[in-house]
Structure 1
Amino acid sequence: MIRPTALLALSLSLLATAASARVCVDDDADRRVCLEQPAERIVALSPGATELLFDAGAGERLVGAVSYSDFPPAAKKLPRVGSYKRLDLEAILALKPDLVVAWISGNPGTQVDRLEDLGLTVYRGEPLRFTDVADTLERLAVLAGTEQAGNAAAARFRDGIGALRRRFADAAPVTVFYEVWEEPLMTVNGEHLISEAIRTCGGINVFADLHGLAPRVGTEAVIAANPEAIVAGGMGEDNPAWLEPWKRFPALTAVQRDNLFFVPPSTLQRPTPQMLEGTRQLCDHLERARARR
């Protein structure tokens, strides 16, 4: 026969164990996200979220991702649940995830809300600063129970960005037009994470004052701004074709000095630790622009 005091002690022990297994973080929508235990089945609703989860040490817990989730290579093997713009809710539910990682500005809000209505736990992410990338790695690692890997990845990212900031803190400014898309012609404003990369390298975004994170601009506006350097991503990791049309405008300073630079889009256009490599490449390009004065 179990004594009442022993039963009480056992009950308290079980409650303490359950409480210690519960994990909670605050997401970028300022909501508390809690799980009764670290997630074992995770679905990522953007290529960036997929990459962040792998970097946070949670790759083996991913069971689904959206199209274009191609890094690291293991991500290509994950079952697809639609695109980030059009989610396949049935496919997501069929995977029975205990955590869904959504993209605030990219995913359809009504579909993400529907997933919550159906009982799924959703973490909403929107890294807008380098510090947000590192913080997101740590938060996702908490939710996946992979803190050691996530904390290490966050520390490497912070240290790398810090080193670049120190190196280029006193660099001569270089005016920059960053082309994020060709048709329609689009750039980034000063609030965009790519603008932080430009500033880190001692660059000045000529369209920093525009409204919207990725505003449309006209060719005439670029010509009027006359940037010293034009930097573009492109339709592929080794396809600098978007730079070619600018050669039709020889009066542009960037064209005159051959300051037309390509950076693989996955290294600057996804809010992940790959931005460290993309920012390094960007800084090297702007150093070339300084040397060509």
Structure 2
Amino acid sequence: MKKYSRFVYTLFFVLFMISCTDSNKQESINSDSVLIDDLGNKFELTEPPKRIITLAPNLTEMIYALNQEDRLVGNTLYCNYPKEAEKITKVGDMLTMNYEVILSLKPDLVFITVEGNTKDNYDRLKEFGISVFVSNPRNYNDIKQTFLQFGKIFDAYESADSITKAWDKQLTEIRSQIGNRKKSALFLAAITPIMAAGRTTFINEFIEICGLENIVKESKINYPVFSREEIIKVDPDYIIYASKEELSKKYLTDIYAEWKNLSAVKNDKIIFVDPDLFYRPGPRFAEAVKTLYTKINKP
């Protein structure tokens, strides 16, 4: 559970930081030389950065998706995809950074994200005179916008544009197969406490694109906490839970015995997914949707 305690901590940090970034969401890309990050910082581009560090797995994945990994000199302990990313010099674990290592790598630009990194990380990097690009993709459109910005930063916009159009095509194909099904779903972000992915999260888009309805309806909180009784009351048709371990529905009913009467449990509609794929708002978004759609429609 230590792993999930860290995740829960990160979620609460996100709730705090989002209030600082909502008013500075990415502006449209309307200049060939000037970009604005999610804190409203302006970057005037003269040439692509030669040495970069990424402080979040989703940003690392974007670098590889754009074939710009030769510029990557540092990333975090959680940057494990693609496999080659594990070989890059590690500068921290997202929350705690080794600034001595970062300085030794002499980066031209460091990419950080609201989801996982801290304001202290940002402030310290700025104190050292390091250029920092802040990303906060909160939905699919944000992911595309960030990716297109990366394309501009690395003089690879045409490639980025082509890739995002391929994502759109994949999602359109899935949507065309949905029909009128309106089953309900609970995406468990954590079990103790019971924390669900809300409608304001990119995870909600996975649910809706696959033709399911999120049980979280009115809450404006990204990851609201539910009581065990509330889950029984809403009785979801599907329960989706991200775990690296091989689990079964017994895992959930061992924790909450009364859940054995839930429709999702009785009908064997408990779906386990890879957290690395589903918790990263990055270039594998369409892959995650396809994975969930396949699991939902498994005979």
Q: TM-score range by the shorter chain?
A: 0.7 to 0.9
Query: In the alignment, is the contact (CA less than 8 A) between 2:51 and 2:106 conserved in 1?
Result: yes
Q: Counterpart in 2 of 1:140?
A: 150
In the alignment, the residues of structure 1 paired with residue 88 and residue 191 of structure 2 have an alpha-carbon distance, to the nearest angstrom, of: 30
Query: In the alignment, is the contact (CA less than 8 A) between 2:75 and 2:91 conserved in 1?
Result: yes
In the alignment, the residues of structure 2 paired with residue 193 and residue 242 of structure 1 have an alpha-carbon distance, to the nearest angstrom, of: 25
Larger Rg: 1
Q: Counterpart in 2 of 1:48?
A: 58
Seen in structure 2, the aligned counterparts of structure 1 residues 201 and 138 have a Cα distance that, compared at 3 Å, is same
Q: Counterpart in 2 of 1:98?
A: 108
Q: Counterpart in 2 of 1:256?
A: 266
Q: Counterpart in 1 of 2:180?
A: 171
Query: In the alignment, is the contact (CA less than 8 A) between 2:143 and 2:281 conserved in 1?
Result: yes
Deviations 1:54-101 (A, max 9, x none): 112221111100111000011000111111112222221221111111
1:239 and 2:250 equivalent?
A: no
Unaligned 5+ runs, structure 2: 1-31
Matches within 5 A, 1:18-97: 23-97=33-107
| Alignment equivalent of 2:201, drawn from 181, 192, 196 | 192
Query: In the alignment, is the contact (CA less than 8 A) between 2:183 and 2:213 conserved in 1?
Result: yes
Give the deviation of 1:118 after TM superposition.
Answer: 2.2
Q: Secondary structure at the match of 1:250?
A: helix
In the alignment, the residues of structure 1 paired with residue 218 and residue 273 of structure 2 have an alpha-carbon distance, to the nearest angstrom, of: 23
Give the deviation of 1:164 after TM superposition.
Answer: 2.0
Query: In the alignment, is the contact (CA less than 8 A) between 2:148 and 2:157 conserved in 1?
Result: yes
Counterpart amino acid of 2:103? L
Q: Counterpart in 1 of 2:231?
A: 222
| Alignment equivalent of 2:126, drawn from 97, 116, 121 | 116
Unaligned 5+ runs, structure 1: 1-21
Counterpart amino acid of 2:191? E
Give the deviation of 1:242 after TM superposition.
Answer: 7.3
Deviations 1:192-250 (A, max 9, x none): 0010111111111112433432233332222221100101111x1x6335762237422
In the alignment, the residues of structure 2 paired with residue 233 and residue 53 of structure 1 have an alpha-carbon distance, to the nearest angstrom, of: 24
In the alignment, the residues of structure 1 paired with residue 241 and residue 290 of structure 2 have an alpha-carbon distance, to the nearest angstrom, of: 15
In the alignment, the residues of structure 2 paired with residue 34 and residue 208 of structure 1 have an alpha-carbon distance, to the nearest angstrom, of: 42
TM-score of the superposed pair, with normalisation by structure 1: 0.83
Query: In the alignment, is the contact (CA less than 8 A) between 2:94 and 2:117 conserved in 1?
Result: yes
Query: In the alignment, is the contact (CA less than 8 A) between 1:40 and 1:144 conserved in 2?
Result: no
Query: In the alignment, is the contact (CA less than 8 A) between 2:58 and 2:283 conserved in 1?
Result: no
| Alignment equivalent of 2:169, drawn from 159, 180, 188 | 159
Q: Secondary structure at the match of 1:164?
A: helix
Counterpart amino acid of 1:82? G
Q: Counterpart in 2 of 1:15?
A: none
Query: In the alignment, is the contact (CA less than 8 A) between 1:187 and 1:215 conserved in 2?
Result: yes
Q: Counterpart in 1 of 2:293?
A: 283
Q: CA RMSD in A?
A: 2.1
Seen in structure 2, the aligned counterparts of structure 1 residues 200 and 98 have a Cα distance that, compared at 3 Å, is same
Give the deviation of 1:283 after TM superposition.
Answer: 1.9
Deviations 1:147-198 (A, max 9, x none): 3432332222122122222332x33111001112233332211000010111
Counterpart amino acid of 1:56? L
Seen in structure 2, the aligned counterparts of structure 1 residues 287 and 266 have a Cα distance that, compared at 3 Å, is same
Q: Secondary structure at the match of 2:134?
A: strand
In the alignment, the residues of structure 2 paired with residue 229 and residue 206 of structure 1 have an alpha-carbon distance, to the nearest angstrom, of: 10
**Greater shift after overlay, 274-283 or 72-81?**
274-283
Q: Secondary structure at the match of 1:101?
A: strand
